[in-house]
Structure 1
Amino acid sequence: MHRSGATMAWNVFKFCTALRGLGSIMILLVLGVVGVTYYAVVLTNYGPALYDGGFDSVIAVVVLIVFHFLLVMLLWSYFSVVLTDPGCVPPNWRPAVDEEGGENDPLNGSEFSSVPADPSHQRIRYCRKCNELKPPRCHHCSVCGRCILKMDHHCVWVVNCVGALNYKYFLLFLFYTFLETSLVTLALLPHFIAFFSEGEIPGTPGTLATTFLAFVLNLAFTLSVLGFLIMHISLVAGNTTTIEAYEKKTTPKWRYDLGRKKNFEQVFGMDKRYWFIPAYSDEDLRRIPALQGLEYPSKPDFDSEEF
């Protein structure tokens, strides 16, 4: 039994190491899709259309302006997720109050252990892997090898965990990716249909193949990202994460569900000027502790013993 457990631990370690290596490849893949799309939309089709004159030139101008705007926002959001630390437990962190509701806390699991605490704390969340206390809604990531504040999931596409400090950026990445890929799909649809027409199609075999590939890739991303976007919108509305939803803790009695407006503000902030950019205002960072990933307000009438 001991040998089997050791083998399993070794296999998990190899799997986590492989995910770390895969991450760099995924960044190159994302940039590759962006490059193919840019070549098909700008250089092959709508760039040359600027010189055609008439209505076609007007359409080309509109498509290119919107395309470049969405591309900038997409890449800004993407690299914000990649480069922003999702949030880690500060050294020697100690809870001020028992925010997890004592022994009946629904998030207490096998990875938690009772540790010495003052009498007001019946049980404190503790990570055996990191050997440190865990703030509320914090989970250990085996790929990153550390505890992540308000961890949602580890995403190989961004080579990073998605947590308290970069969750908004991840959502904006999904949002702008959906808009960009939808635009590209619609913009290249007439050219895609032309492949199946009987008339002669202008362009070299290379440009035609690039246009065909860009259309298929963007259509696939549009459909897949839409599903993820809808899922995360529902998670934000209920003030929960993918991990918490998987653990089936998002009941009507979920302590952190403060209503859709306040739940939204705990991810995007209160300053409307910053809602659609991967950044927060200094004022929001001061007045919304949840954005820092350590403190989360709960329902004032919440009674943990009902669980």
Structure 2
Amino acid sequence: MNEPRGSVARSLCCGDVPNSIRATCQNAYANCTLVKAVRWLPVAAILCSKSWSCYTFFLVYNHLPEEDSSNHKIATLVLYHILFGLSTWCFLACLVSNPGHVPDDWRLTDEEVEHLSQASSEEEWKGMLLEFARGKGLECFQFSVQGAMRYCETCFLIKPDRSHHCSVCNQCILKMDHHCPWVNNCIGFYNYKYFILFLVYAYCYCLFLLVFLSTYLFLYRDENNDVNWNIHISGILVLSFISFVFISCLLWYHVFLLIVNRTTLEQFRKPILETGSSGKAWNMGTFRNLQEVFGDIGCLWFLPVFTSMGNGTHFSCPRMVRVASGVGLGRKYDSVIVIHERSPSVKLDQHFELSEKHPRPVTVEYVAQHPSPRIEITHMNSC
């Protein structure tokens, strides 16, 4: 018998391993001193490589011939400081910033958790979660593969749309993209902009080093017309090239995700709505997708300061229109597409009747008062 998926299903199949014991083991692993130390090694590697590249740059810069144009040297120095400063600033912002923890409003009380653990079936468990969400006034339009409210057994909370539990950080992260070992932090709603800018400036920084060091080697020779090779220049050249290739792949992949308003996790598993899974659930168009991450103040787009729109728990979705093709008076329509500015389209198991005074066929838009099944007609045009 295949093990069914879902929180209740896992509890029923693994009744001998209570949630409290699994949570205790996960907390012990996450708080292990040795594990924490190992996770800082990639961060230390980046800081060491940045320091080495800075030393190599000034080592080469100070050996440039005196007859070289002073304006050229000043421009090179200024450009280096800009790229080095911004890339380091963005890296530190990713490192120390809070990626976005789920607010306490989404957390269940001890009584609710105990009541939930006593569910005798998955259907009863789904109903309890829905009632808890309604009681707290929570809006959720993304569902689990079983069609239930998404619930975290470790954090004991209902997951907002696009949030996921990070097994490394051992907590749920708003709009989680991935856990990045290079900054020892999750990339989520509150630091995704920093991460994108870090990739951009690190890409430019590596390209600058490649061009600068290569130019120095082939334009400036010693007395014997030999190339001025040394361990620092050759090492940084190799390191910059490898980093440039790696960052290029990562940057252009995230540019694509940014344009279509999709996280790394959503790229591998499409969000599940009541209408089914959709890879375009949050896509509002290129410019509005960029605004969601970088904000609506253009002069701040390229600075690592938080300007993202929203609070990480609710997200906009494109307006969708369904053309009703029926021509009979009083015809009932099911599979209604519900329209809302902040939520994905939702299919309700409801029926409604068009009034005789409305032309047929018609294009209809609706607004859902979710989770209430009430439907309001907000716009109606002749086709």
TM-score, with normalisation over the residues of structure 2?
Answer: 0.63
Distance change >3 Å, CA 252–CA 45, structure 1 → 2: same
**Higher relative CO (CA 8 A, sep ≥ 6), structure 1 or 2?**
1
Alignment match, 1:124: 149
Q: Which region of structure 1 is more displaced relative to structure 2, 244-253 or 177-186?
A: 244-253
Is the contact made by 1:140 and 1:147 (CA closer than 8 Å) also made in structure 2?
A: yes
Change (3 A) 1:137 1:253: closer
Asked whether the equivalents of residues 22 and 156 of structure 1 are also in contact (C-alpha less than 8 Å), the reply is no
Deviations 1:20-64 (A, max 9, x none): 43332222211111111111111x111332x61233x44332221
- Is residue 80–residue 166 contact of structure 1 (8 Å, CA) maintained in 2? yes
Deviation string 1:233-265 (CA, Å, 9 cap, x unpaired) is 000111110011011459876221111111111
Matches within 5 A, 1:40-51: 40-42=56-58, 44-49=59-64
- Of Structure 1 and Structure 2, which has the larger fraction of its residues in helix? 1
- The residue aligned with 1:102 is none
Aligned residue number for residue 293 of structure 1: 312
Q: After alignment, is 145-154 or 20-29 more displaced?
A: 20-29
Partner residue in 2 for 1:148: 173
Structure 2 residue aligned with 1:265 = 291
Q: Which deviates further from its counterpart, 162-171 or 13-22?
A: 13-22
Change (3 A) 1:248 1:278: same
* 1:247–1:219 Cα change, 3 Å: same
Tell me by how many angstroms 1:298 deviates.
1.6
**Aligned counterpart, 1:69:** 82
Whether the 8 Å CA contact 1:181–1:222 is kept in 2: the answer is: yes
Residue 24 of structure 1 corresponds to 40
Call closer, same or farther: CA 1:223–1:202 in 2, change over 3 Å. Answer: closer
How far is the alpha carbon of 1:224 from its aligned partner?
A: 0.8
Question: 1:151·1:241 contact (CA, 8 Å) conserved in 2?
Answer: yes
| 1:176 aligns to 2:201 (yes or no) | yes
Give me the whole-angstrom Cα distance separating, in 2, the residues matched to 1:195 and 1:19: 47
Indicate whether 1:190 and 2:215 are aligned.
Answer: yes
Q: CA deviation at 1:199?
A: 3.7
Greater Cα offset, 184-193 or 215-224: 184-193
Residues 243 and 71 of structure 1: CA distance in aligned 2, closer, same or farther (over 3 Å): same
Residues 247 and 40 (structure 1), Cα distance of their counterparts in 2 relative to 1, 3 Å cut: same
Given the superposition, is the C-alpha separation of residues 15 and 185 from structure 1 closer, same or farther in structure 2, using an over 3 Å criterion?
Answer: farther
The equivalent residue for 1:231 is 253
- 1:221 matched to 2:243? The reply is yes
Secondary structure in 2 aligned to 1:147? Answer: strand
Code of the residue aligned with 2:288 in structure 1: it is: K
Where do 5+ consecutive residues of structure 2 fail to align?
A: 1-12, 109-121, 135-139, 141-146, 321-343, 349-383
Distance 1:11 1:80, change over 3 A: closer
Cα displacement (A) at 1:192: 5.0
> Is the 1:47–1:60 Cα contact (8 Å) retained in structure 2?
no
Distance 1:202 1:245, change over 3 A: closer
The alignment's C-alpha RMSD in Å is 3.6
Shift of 1:277: 0.5
The SS at the match of 1:89 is coil
Q: Secondary structure at the match of 1:256?
A: coil
Match of 1:246 among 236, 251, 268: 268
| TM-score (normalizing by structure 1) | 0.77
Instruction: Give the CA deviation at 1:299.
Output: 2.3
C-alpha distance in 1, partners of 2:220/2:268?
A: 44
Matched pairs, number: 273
**% same residue:** 26
CA offset at residue 295 of structure 1? 1.1
